[in-house]
Amino acid sequence: MSTAAERAADRIRRFGQRRPEALRLARYASLAVRLDAQLLRALRLELMPQSDAGAEADLWFSSLTESMSSQGFVFDAHVAEQLQRELATEFVDGEQKALNRAAELTALAHGDWPVSLQFEERITWLALKRTEGPAAVAARKTEIEALLRQLVKAMAQDEMRGVEVARWVQRALRRLPQVARETESALLLALGAAERLGGNVRFSEVVPTSLPQDAAWILPARQFSNWTTIGLRRYLTGIEFLEPEGAPMTVTLPRTNPLYLQMSWLEGSKQVTQTISVAAGRTVAIPATATEVRLRTLAGEELALESAPQPTIESPREQVVGEDHLQRAVVRVEFVDPRRARFEIERMGFFVAPDLVVSVLDRGDLPSGEDLSGNECRIVLPGGDRIPAHVVTSGELPKTVVLRLAREVSDATVLPRSSEVAVSVGMHWQTVRPSELRSDVISGVVLDPDSYVADKLGNLRKDMIRLAVSRDKMDLDLDMLGAPVIIDGNIVAQITVCDDSGSRECFAQPIAAIEQLLLLHGTPRPTEENPRIFISYAPREHGGGESRDAEVMERISYTMQVAHLRPLFDVELPLRSPSEADYVAAVKASRGGALLLTPLSHTATSVVEVELPLLAYWRWVKPDFPVVIFRSGAPVSQQKSLATAVGADVPLPANLRDVAIIDLDGARDLDLAQFVHRHFDFIRPPHDEASGLDLVRKQIAMLISGHATREGGEMAMQVAEEHSVQLLMSRGMFADIAWQPLLAQLEPPAAVELIDVAAAFSLPVETHRPLLYAAVGNSGARIFCINAMSENVARALLHRAWVGRVVPRSIDLTNVRWSTPTVRDVVTHVSKTVAEALGCDYQLARWLVGNAEAPLILIFATRPLPSQQYIDELLAALPHAIMLFLRGDDPDPPPPPVVELQGLKEGDHERFVTRYKELMAMVTPPAESMVTPRPSSSPRKASRPKKPSTTKQEKEKYAVSVKGGKRKGGPAARAQRRLTKRRALKKK
Partner 1 sequence: MRRANIFLADLLQGLHALRVTDAQRARDVLGMLSLDRLEASASTSLEGAWSPSAAVPRGVDPAPAETGMPPAPPAAPPLPVLRERQEATLRQVVAPSTVAQIPSWYSETSAAARPAGPTPSPRSAQPLFPRNQTRGLLTAALSTWSEDGSVDVERVVDMLAELQPIRTWPQQTAATLRRGVQLLVDVSVGMGPFRLDVEHMIGEIKGVLAEEQISALFFAGSPKRGCAVQGGDELKDWQPPPSGTRIFLLTDLGIGPSPDTSQRAGEEEWVEFGERAALAGCSVVALVPYGPRRWPRALSRAFHIIHWDRRTTAAIVRRSLPRIRRSTS
| x/- track of binding to partner 1 for residues 322-341 (CB under 8 A) | -------xx---x-x---xx
DSSP codes joined into one string, 48-65: -TTS-THHHHHHHTSTTE
Q: What type of residue sits at position 344?
A: E
* Residue 258 engages partner 1 in binding (rule: CB under 8 A): no
Of the two residues 140 and 684, which places its CB atom closer to partner 1 in the complex? 684
Residue 92: DSSP 8-state: B
In three-state secondary structure terms, 550 is: helix
Smallest gap from residue 56 Cβ to partner 1 (A): 5
Identity of the residue, 258 or 382, whose beta carbon is nearer to partner 1 in the bound complex: 382
Q: Is 54 in the site for partner 1 (CB under 8 A)?
A: yes
Please name the residues in contact with 976: beta carbons below 8 A apart, sequence gap of 6 or more. Answer: 748, 749, 969
Q: Does 244 bind partner 1 (CB under 8 A)?
A: no
Smallest separation (angstroms) from partner 1 to the CB of 561: 8
- The site map against partner 1 for 491-510 (x = CB under 8 A) is --------------------
Spatial distance between the Cα atoms of 805 and 841, rounded to a whole number of angstroms: 30
Residue 137 engages partner 1 in binding (rule: CB under 8 A): no
Closest distance of CB 22 from partner 1, Å? 9
Cβ atoms within 10 Å of 805's Cβ, excluding its own: 18
**CB 834, min distance to partner 1, A:** 23
Query: Is 5 near partner 1 (CB under 8 A)?
Result: yes
Taking the C-alpha atoms of residue 387 and residue 242, their distance in angstroms, rounded to an integer, is: 23
Site for partner 1 in 97-136 (CB under 8 A): 109, 112-117, 119
Q: Binding to partner 1 by residue 753, rule CB under 8 A? A: no
Q: How many Cα atoms occupy the beta-carbon half-sphere of 79 within 13 Å?
A: 25
Shortest Å distance, C-beta 391 to partner 1 = 11
| Residues 585-604 within binding reach of partner 1 (CB under 8 A) | 585-586, 588-589
Cβ–Cβ under 8 Å, residues 148 and 176: no
Q: Respond yes or no on whether the N-terminal peptide bond of residue 258 is cis (omega within 30° of 0).
A: yes
Closest approach, Cβ 450 to partner 1, in A, equals 27
Tell me how far, at minimum, the Cβ of 922 lies from partner 1, in Å.
31
Q: Answer yes or no whether residue 695 interacts with partner 1 by CB under 8 A.
A: yes
Omega of the bond prior to 220 within 30 degrees of 0, cis? no
Under the criterion CB under 8 A, does residue 731 sit at the interface with partner 1? Answer: no
User: Do residues 764 and 863 make contact, with C-beta atoms less than 8 angstroms apart?
Assistant: no
Interaction pattern, residues 345-364, with partner 1; x per rule: CB under 8 A: -x--------x---------
- Which 20-49 residues touch partner 1, going by CB under 8 A? 34, 36-42, 45, 49
Question: Given CA atoms 606, 610, 616, 617 in this order, what sign does their dihedral have?
Answer: positive
**Helical H runs in 593-688?**
605-621, 636-639, 642-649, 669-680
* Segment interacting with partner 1 (CB under 8 A) among 78-86, 262-270, 485-493, 821-829: 78-86
SS3 per residue for 110-173: CCCCCHHHHHHHHHHHHHHCCCCCHHHHHHHHHHHHHHHHHHHHHHHHCHHHHHHHHHHHHHHC
Distances (CA, A) of 425 to 357, 451, 489: 27, 11, 17
607 binds partner 1 (CB under 8 A): no
Residues 525-584 that bind partner 1 (CB under 8 A): 525-529, 532, 541, 543-544, 546-548, 558, 561-564, 566, 568, 572-575, 582
Using CB under 8 A, which of 199, 220, 258, 384 touches partner 1? 384
Q: Which is nearer to partner 1, 374 or 893 (CB)?
A: 374
Interface positions, 631-670, toward partner 1 (CB under 8 A): 669
Q: How far is the CB of 380 from partner 1 (least distance, A)?
A: 8
Residue from 216, 447, 512, 875 binding partner 1 (CB under 8 A) = 216
What would the x/- binding string for partner 1 be over residues 396 to 415, using CB under 8 A? Answer: --------xxxxxxxx-x-x
* Residue 692 CA to its chain's centroid (Å): 20
Pairing of strands 484-487, 490-497: antiparallel
Count of residues of this chain found to bind partner 1 when the rule CB under 8 A is applied: 186
Q: Which residues contact 84 (CB under 8 A, 6 or more apart)?
A: 27, 30, 31, 124, 128, 177
Q: Is 880 an interacting residue with respect to partner 1 (CB under 8 A)?
A: no
Given 30, 82, 275, 810, the residue binding partner 1 (CB under 8 A):
82
Q: Which residues inside 786-845 make contact with partner 1, applying CB under 8 A?
A: 804
Q: Which of 249, 642, 701, 744 is close enough to bind partner 1 by CB under 8 A?
A: 249
CB of 860 to partner 1, least distance (A): 27
In this chain, which stretch among 216-224, 658-666, 747-755, 951-959 interacts with partner 1, using CB under 8 A?
216-224
Show the binding pattern over residues 148-187: x = contacts partner 1 (CB under 8 A), - = does not. Answer: -xxxxxx-xxx--x--xx------------x---------
Element (H, E) at 296: strand 291-296
Our CA angle for 54, 59, 63, nearest 5°, is 135
Strands 270-278 and 342-353: unpaired
Question: For partner 1, which is the closer residue by CB, 564 or 657?
Answer: 564
The separation between CA 286 and the C-alpha centre of its own chain, rounded to angstroms, equals: 35
The phi, psi pair for 597, rounded to 5°, reads -105, 115
Closest approach, Cβ 523 to partner 1, in A, equals 7
